[in-house]
Amino acid sequence: MALKVLQSFVSSVPTLWRLSMLLLLYQASHKTALASTRLGGNETDHLALLSIKAKITHDPMLITSSWNDSLHFCQWKGVLCGQRHLRVTGLNLESYNLAGFISPSIGNLSFLRIVNLKNNSFQGGIPHEMGRLFRLRFLDLSTNLMGGKIPGNLSHCNNLRILSLKQNKFIGNLPKELGSLSHLVELHIPFNNLTRAIPASFGNLSSLQYFSAEENMLEGNLPGSLANFSTQLQHLILGRNKISGSIPPDIGNLVSLNTLDLVYNQLTGSIPTSIGRLHKLQEVAFGGNNFSGEIPSSIGNLTLLNALGIEENNLQGNIPSTLGNCQGLLLLQLYGNNLSGSIPREVIGLSSLSQSLDLSRNSLSGPLPQEVGNLRNLGLLNLSYNKLSGEIPNSLKSCISLQYLYLDNNSLEGVIPQSLESLKGKLDLSFNDLEGEIPAGEVFQNVNAISVSGNNKLCGGIPALELPSCPDDKPRKKKMPLGLPLLIPTICGVLSIILISSILILCWLRKMRNQPSVASSSMDSWRIISYNKLLKATNGFSSSNLIGTGSFGSVYKGILNPSDQKAIAVKVFNQQRRGGTKSFMAECKALKNIRHRNLVKIITACASVDFQDNDFKALVYEYMENGSLEYWLHPVLSQTGKRPTDGMFIDGLDLHKLAKLALPERVMEIVDQNLLEEEEGASINSSNQMKIEKISHPPFHKTSSSMKYFHN
């Protein structure tokens, strides 16, 4: 089984495959030549490993204590060898709490293909000598304390597929020489202190699929050559740098783009119309720049879009009604611009919206369209600080998931609709021109839940609101608005409608209770779950449970109840940067109804604070082995070119494993033995024995699933 899986992966990377086959043939005809070099070679490796050990100053888990002469170095912990020639092909020392420096002697391990030193405390720079490792495919130094400049010499490692230097202290510029790494598929350099501009030469990275560099100090313009980046590029994540200039108009060439994250830079100019050609885009994050001009209507072409954020910019003009075509949109943030005109019906009626619709702090005018009632899944609607007029539409009562409604600081008039009293969370109607009596419903009984100040013609309500009492002497119970004699004849009608609908709702609730389907819209079937529980379910959000990331959040797999072993997928939204003192448990309740039919079944939601008191939001989905998760995890899947319906899933490689394979930190589990051994001339079939031996002191101590995967 394992072999079949490996083979199918390999065949999905045709160049890798062809290369290995070539080497296989080459080595078959040069066996004698290689055999004679064997003797000298293994001693070089031996010495190099010993000097690597000598530079490790702290080894609390005693990993390198096995690096002694009682064992052949191929059996040393964390050392991988090709079985045929016993040369070192991999170093896997991930998460061993090692400290020290990387010895320049690493450059003498000339057969190295895999170096994984992730999550240790190595310091110092990357030795230039690593440039001699021309066979190197995978280099992961992420989450260490390394610094200095990235050596341009790494460009000699021209077989590099994956390079991750994430979360270190690297400084200086990105060497332009790296632009020659024509096989590079993933480049991860976020959370460092890199400066200067992205070199134009990166436009030559013709295999690049993933480029992340967020949270550095990169400056300069986006290179014009950006448009020349690989048409395979799926993730471009450059948020929180100091990049200026405008987006190259030809960005529309990057037709595979799935995530485009440029948040909090200093970008100016308009958003290119050509963005409408990027049909695969799912997440667009442009917030916190200085984009001007109008939102191009071509954005309506992006029918797979899940999240669009262009908040805190300098946009003008109307919100394009074409946005209504983006029927998978879960989150839309356009707050803090200078958008004008009315809110298009097509947009306010976009029923997929579930996480948040925030159009606050613009210059939007006209009435709030009736279509707002389509937002059945929406938890937060923020339209504050605009110029909206007219009455608050009654259709808001259909927004059954709505927990936060902010309509403050507009010019809304008329009475507060009775229907708003069913709202369970927070309601801000302050600084409008509303009139009449405050309705009597529950939300209006809680002074912390509502804000109605700055409406001079309101009256009644609980005393804490400090409004004048209504001049009407009719009993409160009737909740009749004042000054509206027009409504008097209809009161009986209203009352009977309320009565009838209460009966209907009661019947419906009873019916729902008898149908325990998760997909039902019964409020009862929603549970709220604590941060603690999710923490436990996902092994502390461990990287081995991570199945995908995007700029708006990460998806983890987990087991909620050890008793039923039912898998869940947890989408954790990135912390919202906007402040505000919210009641997070209230938010849990707010989110509990959010779901979207086109996605997968949402089991529950959580909004809370984590142990560092950070805002925490998550949605919990039923984990679907058979592909419904595909839509949600599309970024991950498109990286491998595999879909859950492909044959390989039948052999038991589920989406979870596949997704893991697609992630950089897992890739070495695939590239690892079989490719190495092919190059060493061993046939695939005869290598099983060796594989199992090696795994018996596995390099991947944490991921027992990967062991299973090799043993099968």
Ligand X SMILES: *[C@@H]1O[C@H](CO)[C@@H](O)[C@H](O)[C@H]1NC(C)=O
Nearer to ligand X, 119 or 551 (CB): 119
Task: Write down the least CB distance from residue 295 to ligand X, Å.
Answer: 13
335 binds ligand X (CB under 6 A): yes
Beta bridge partners of 245: 267
Does position 108 interact with ligand X (CB under 6 A)? The reply is yes
Q: Which of 20, 27, 42, 212 binds ligand X (CB under 6 A)?
A: 42
Binding status of residue 340 toward ligand X by CB under 6 A: yes
CB nearer ligand X, residue 17 or residue 541: 541
Contact flag: residue 255 with ligand X (CB under 6 A):
no
Residue among 363 and 575 whose Cβ is closer to ligand X: 363
Among 273, 321, 325, 539, binds ligand X (CB under 6 A): 273
Among 12, 95, 270, 451, binds ligand X (CB under 6 A): 95
Q: Report whether 459 contacts 434 (CB < 8 A).
A: no
Member of 78, 90, 203, 393 binding ligand X (CB under 6 A)? 203
Q: Return d(Cα 140, Cα 96) in angstroms, integer.
A: 14
Cα(532)–Cα(609) distance, rounded to whole angstroms?
Answer: 10
Handedness of CA 398, 570, 186, 630 (dihedral sign): negative
Q: Which amino acid is at 85?
A: H
Given candidates 30, 58, 224, 495, which one binds ligand X under the rule CB under 6 A?
224
| Only segment of 231-239, 318-326, 359-367, 648-656 that touches ligand X (CB under 6 A) | 359-367
Is residue 156 at the binding interface for ligand X, with CB under 6 A as the rule?
yes
With binding defined as CB under 6 A, does residue 105 bind ligand X?
yes
Give the shortest CB-590-to-ligand X separation in angstroms. Answer: 10
Tell me the window of 224-232, 443-451, 474-482, 516-524 that interacts with ligand X (CB under 6 A).
224-232
Measured distance CA(456)–CA(705) in Å, rounded: 65
CB-based contact 314:292 (threshold 8 Å): yes
Q: State the greatest distance between any 2 C-alpha atoms of the chain, in Å, as a whole number.
A: 108
Q: Closest CB to ligand X among 290 and 351?
A: 290
Using CB under 6 A as the binding rule, whether residue 97 contacts ligand X is answered as: yes
Helices 14-28 and 2-11, axial angle in degrees (round to 10):
110
Shortest Cβ distance from residue 27 to ligand X (Å)?
17
Stretch that binds ligand X, among 335-343, 466-474, 596-604, 647-655 (CB under 6 A): 335-343
Where are the alpha helices (H) located in 168-242, listed in sequence order?
none
Are 512 and 520 in contact by the 8 Å Cβ rule? The answer is yes
For 484-565, where are the E strands, in sequence order? 527-528, 546-550, 553-559
User: Closest Cα to residue 357, out of 376, 392, 317, 330?
Assistant: 330
Indicate whether 116 belongs to the interface with ligand X (CB under 6 A). Answer: no
According to the binding rule CB under 6 A, does residue 276 interact with ligand X?
Answer: yes
Please tell me whether residue 70 binds ligand X under the rule CB under 6 A: yes
Can residue 436 be called a binding residue for ligand X (CB under 6 A)? Answer: no
Quick one: which of 201, 232, 322, 354 contacts ligand X (CB under 6 A)? 201
- Minimum Å gap between C-beta 330 and ligand X is 16
Nearer to ligand X, 132 or 656 (CB): 132
- Long-range contact pairs involving 265-271 (C-beta distance under 8 Å, separation at least 24): 265/238, 265/239, 265/240, 265/241, 265/289, 266/242, 266/290, 267/222, 267/243, 267/291, 268/244, 268/292, 269/245, 269/293, 270/246, 270/294, 270/296, 271/247, 271/295, 271/296, 271/299, 271/310
Cα(45)–Cα(110) distance, integer angstroms: 8
CA distance 656 to 544: 10
Taking residues 455 to 494 in sequence order and writing x for each that binds ligand X by CB under 6 A, - otherwise, the string is ----------------------------------------
Q: How far is the CB of 701 from ligand X (least distance, A)?
A: 9
Both tokens of residue 599? 């996605």
Q: How many CB atoms are closer than 10 A to CB 206?
A: 16
Token pair for residue 73?
């170095």
Q: Which one of 46-54, 410-418, 442-450, 642-650 is the stretch in contact with ligand X (CB under 6 A)?
A: 46-54
CB of 216 closer than 8 Å to CB of 192:
yes
State whether the Cα torsion 542-547-550-554 is positive or negative: negative
Question: Contact letters (x/-) for ligand X, 294-323, by CB under 6 A?
Answer: ----x--x------------x-x-------
- Sign of the torsion formed by the C-alpha atoms of 55, 60, 63 and 66: positive
CB of 186 to ligand X, least distance (A): 18
Which positions ≥6 away from 493 have C-beta within 8 Å?
none
Instruction: Check binding of 129 to ligand X (CB under 6 A).
Output: yes
Nearer to ligand X, 361 or 642 (CB): 361
Q: Which one among 21, 25, 28, 47 touches ligand X, defined by CB under 6 A?
A: 47
Span interacting with ligand X, options 61-69, 455-463, 628-636, 652-660, rule CB under 6 A: 61-69
Nearest-angstrom CA–CA distance, 66 and 96: 14
Asked if 451 interacts with ligand X (CB under 6 A), we say no
The string of DSSP codes covering 614-645 is -EEEEEEEE--TTSTHHHHTHHHHHHHT--TT
Residue 661: alpha-carbon gap to chain centroid: 17
For residues 505 and 510, give the distance between their C-alpha atoms in angstroms, rounded to a whole number: 8
> Cα-Cα-Cα-Cα dihedral of 171, 172, 176, 179, to 10°?
10
In the complex, least distance from residue 16 CB atom to ligand X, rounded to whole angstroms: 21
CB of 649 to ligand X, least distance (A): 27
- How far apart are CB 293 and ligand X at their closest, in Å? 9
Among 23, 24, 99, 200, binds ligand X (CB under 6 A): 200
Binding mask 648-667 for ligand X (x = CB under 6 A): --------------------
- 403's enclosing H/E stretch is none
Residue corresponding to tokens 């062991």: 707
Torsion sign across C-alpha atoms 310, 617, 634, 210: positive
Residue 204 binds to ligand X (criterion: CB under 6 A): yes
Name the residue nearer to ligand X (CB basis): 277 or 642. Answer: 277
DSSP letter at 481 equals: P
Q: Which is nearer to ligand X, 51 or 515 (CB)?
A: 51
617 is in an annotated binding site: no
What is the smallest separation between the CB atom of 290 and ligand X, expressed in angstroms? Answer: 4
Binding to ligand X, residues 544-603 (CB under 6 A): 578, 580
* Other C-beta atoms lying within 10 Å of the C-beta of residue 688: 13
Q: Is 75 helix (H, G, I), strand (E, B) or coil?
A: helix
What is the Rg, in whole angstroms, of the alpha carbon atoms belonging to the chain?
Answer: 30
* Among the residue ranges 7-15, 358-366, 549-557, 601-609, the one whose residues contact ligand X (CB under 6 A): 358-366
How many residues line the site for ligand X (CB under 6 A)?
Answer: 61
Residue 68 interacting with ligand X (CB under 6 A): yes
Which parts of 361-420 interact with ligand X (CB under 6 A)? 361, 363, 380, 382, 384-385, 404, 406
Structure tokens at 488: 């008097």
Contact residues for ligand X (CB under 6 A)? 38-39, 42-44, 46-48, 51, 65-66, 68, 70-72, 95, 97, 105, 108, 119, 128-129, 131-132, 153, 156, 169, 179, 193, 200-201, 203-204, 224-225, 228, 268, 273, 276-277, 290, 292, 298, 301, 314, 316, 335, 338, 340, 360-361, 363, 380, 382, 384-385, 404, 406, 543, 578, 580
List the binding residues for ATP: 571
List the binding residues: 571
